[in-house]
Amino acid sequence: MNYKKLLLLSAGLFGLIPSGVIAQDANKTDVLTVTATRSERLASDTVGNQASVSGDELNFLSPTHINEALQGIAGANISRNNGQESLIAIRSPILTGAGACGAFLTAQDGIPLRAAGFCNVNELFESFAEQAGRIEVVRGPGSVLYGSNAMHGIINILSKPVGDASSSASMEAGSWGYLKLNTTGAYQSGNTGLRVTGSVMRDGGYIENSGFNQQKGQVRHEFDDGNWKISSNFLVTNLDQETAGYLVGLDSYKDPVLARTNGNPEAYRKAKSFRYWSTVSKDVSDNLRWQLSPYLRTMDMEFLMHFLPGQPLEENQQKSAGFQNAFYLNEGSNFEIIAGFDGEVAKGELKQTQKNKPTQGFLVTRLPVGKNYDYEVDTKLIAGFVRADIDVSDKLNLVGGVRAEYIKYNYNNRMNSGQVDANGNVCAHSDGCRYTRPADRSDTFNNVSFEAGMLYKFDDVNRFFTRFSRGFRAPQTSELYRLQRSQLVANIKSVKLDSIEAGIRGNADDFSYEITAFYMKKDNVIFQDNRINVDNGKSKHVGVEGMFEYRFPVDVSLRLNGSLAKHQYDFENFTGTTNWKGLDIDTAPRNFGSVQLNWAPADKVKAGLEWIWMGEYSMDPVASHKYAGHSYFNLRIEAEAMKNIDVFLRVMNITNVRYAERADVSFGNPRYFVGKPRAFYGGARVRF
């Protein structure tokens, strides 16, 4: 081992290297990535950070929730709330609130899961992560090929290709009535292929009245005659979930009896979605390739808002259609240009109905029963972009690009406007009704993002990269039209985030690593100030992420991932006499990560021990309460029992640690989403 490898290994073992997974086979020195440029590139030559989880690794992990699949990616913290719900943090705190989901772009094969302006904090359950071919993550602003929401990061679920027509079926069972059936079958003949993939999952729930049933199915068709290359996908999802509310009380998650109680057994969520998308690619000439991706989306969801007084029912629907269009000039050459334009139209509807009076007497006159909101929004989006990739020399590569995006919202209020109840009456409370409905209106937002970066190759293995970029998100429709108190117009602008990062990476036969330092400033942060939506927030984010993997010559590999970061408020705001400026943002741990120790003692036999840790963090902006953090271990074993039949076993949280998936404070009360105690899962997979 040379000095460079020894230095990296030592730094990793002492926790100096934190983050991202470059997933790969033990005998493979590099992988391809598509998210950064919408076309396949070597991951090692990407300008900027990249991380991915391969299909083989996903099979081994067999995640019950997408957060289990992404535990090994530094800087990415997916908080599992209840059932299939989640909250995302990528180079950020765990963001909550109406528009928090707009900080991240979630996609399937590069197509956003939701239309711009209509994000949902739990939208990852509408992807097909359970049967993905690969999951890729970009931390920080995406390239100029992506627009609104690609600000703090991108999670891109890549579908299984038809490939070599491999097929499989698996079944597993686990604690608390967990059952999962996954199937995928493919057929290929000549230049045409077809893959059908399905997943059925049932979970009885560790907490009482918190189980769910979920079904997903995808059909993928591929055609390639050497002139046209076309892939088409149809995806349907269905989730029927009972939901457990927060567990309230300081450190209540540590009590094994309390941890299983559900203070909101009536809560539920039902969500359905359908998606179609295609990618059409054709070489127009020797140095010009055209790529078009049209898509259609529909979704329908209802859930009981158990966390609000009166527990209103929300019903929302969305329909959208759009396309991504790009021309690749001199692709793969020393001077490549990608230019194109994207377009999208969408219609979203939302209705919120309160059937019950609030249990808090002082709110009865502020929250009368009846409809709170009933509106629809039509949106139009058009964007243009250009990105250049230049090889200055064999060692130096430069990239730069710009994107301009226009989005328009046409809002139609389908009930009476103003700060009145559903019948148009003024509420008797001195502050009037809580819910406010703006009159019909239109809003437009124009945004520009850019990027500039470089990659320098020290040698065949090691690279240095740096990148400056801007990400943005337009206000979400719920931030503009779902108002409260006396606010009749939300004069808020798009959120902007400027980022600079620099890192080194290397990838050889026996080791790989990536270390990235970043600094980000975010302006026009939208938040609620005394229930009024304002955009005068600012924050700054600085940190180091790293991944290190060493593959020993005895069929053992060790991988370390971690993040060390500060996420702080950067504006004047007060809780009592305490100024937020300079304080850590709540639910923003300064460190978290994982270690994976894998052993393959024989052909088609693999065992993995995983350590997950989460550092301490403030539970509210003024740190009146802090969550102490946690760590736990997972064990996975897989072996081929007989030809083409694999058996597998997982023991999650081996030492039965009592922990919280997320902790915060509401109205002065600490509350928690409870983490699962020790759980067992086992099953078999047939390959044919």
Residue 71 in contact with residue 610, Cβ under 8 Å?
A: yes
Number of helices followed by number of strands (H, E) in the chain: 4, 40
Which range of residues forms the domain containing residue 83? 3-687
Positive or negative CA dihedral for 306, 308, 313, 317?
negative
Residue 159 in contact with residue 109, Cβ under 8 Å?
A: yes
125 pLDDT above the threshold of 50: yes
115 pLDDT above the threshold of 70: yes
Contacts for 4 with CB less than 8 Å, ≥ 6 apart? 462
In terms of Cα–Cα distance, which of 170, 215, 210 is closest to 62? 170
Angle value at C-alpha 414, between 409 and 352, nearest 5 degrees: 90
- As given in the structure block, the two tokens for residue 165 are 């027509």
In terms of Cα–Cα distance, which of 431, 437, 469 is closest to 453? 469
Q: What burial class does residue 674 get, using C-beta atoms within 10 Å of its C-beta: 0-12 exposed, 13-18 middle, 19+ buried?
A: buried
Query: In total, how many domains does the chain have?
Result: 1
Q: What average pLDDT score do residues 512-533 get? A: 95
Q: What average pLDDT score do residues 367-396 get? A: 97
Residue 651 sits in a domain whose CATH number is 2.40.170.20
The reported pLDDT for the residue numbered 298 is 98
23 pLDDT above the threshold of 50: no
C-alpha 227, offset from chain centre: 35
Contacts for 633 with CB less than 8 Å, ≥ 6 apart? 609, 610, 611, 612, 653, 654, 655
Q: What average pLDDT score do residues 63-80 get? A: 95
Tens-place pLDDT, residues 572-627: 999 999 999 999 999 999 999 999 999 999 888 999 999 999 999 999 999 999 99
What are residue 78's phi and psi, to 5 degrees? Answer: -95, 110
Tens-place pLDDT, residues 162-209: 987 789 999 999 999 999 999 999 999 999 999 999 999 999 999 999
Number of CB atoms found within 10 A of residue 337's CB: 17
- As given in the structure block, the two tokens for residue 112 are 């956003």
Q: What average pLDDT score do residues 394-406 get? A: 97
The reported pLDDT for the residue numbered 6 is 35
In terms of Cα–Cα distance, which of 520, 548, 536, 438 is closest to 482? 438
Q: Calculate the average pLDDT of the chain.
A: 93
Residue 118 in contact with residue 99, Cβ under 8 Å?
A: no
C-alpha 70, offset from chain centre: 9
Range name among 9-18, 405-414, 606-615 with the lowest pLDDT average: 9-18
The reported pLDDT for the residue numbered 30 is 64
Pairing of strands 104-108, 153-159: parallel
Residue of 553 and 414 predicted with greater confidence: 414
556 pLDDT above the threshold of 50: yes
Give dist(CA 38, CA 361) in Å, integer. 55
* H/E stretch holding 68: helix 66-69
The reported pLDDT for the residue numbered 24 is 37
Contacts for 423 with CB less than 8 Å, ≥ 6 apart? 370, 416
Give dist(CA 657, CA 660) in Å, integer. 10
Distances in Å between the Cα of 602 and the Cα atoms of 118, 417, 621, 639 are 49, 69, 51, 9
Contacts for 272 with CB less than 8 Å, ≥ 6 apart? 236, 237, 238, 239, 299, 300, 301
- As given in the structure block, the two tokens for residue 186 are 């493919």
18 pLDDT above the threshold of 60: no
Tens-place pLDDT, residues 242-283: 999 899 999 999 999 999 999 999 999 999 999 999 999 999
Residue 535 in contact with residue 492, Cβ under 8 Å?
A: yes
Angle value at C-alpha 245, between 243 and 248, nearest 5 degrees: 160
The reported pLDDT for the residue numbered 599 is 95
Give the DSSP letter of residue 584: B
The reported pLDDT for the residue numbered 16 is 34
Instruction: Provide the pLDDT confidence category of residue 20 given band limits of 50, 70 and 90.
Output: very low
Amino acid letter for position 257: V
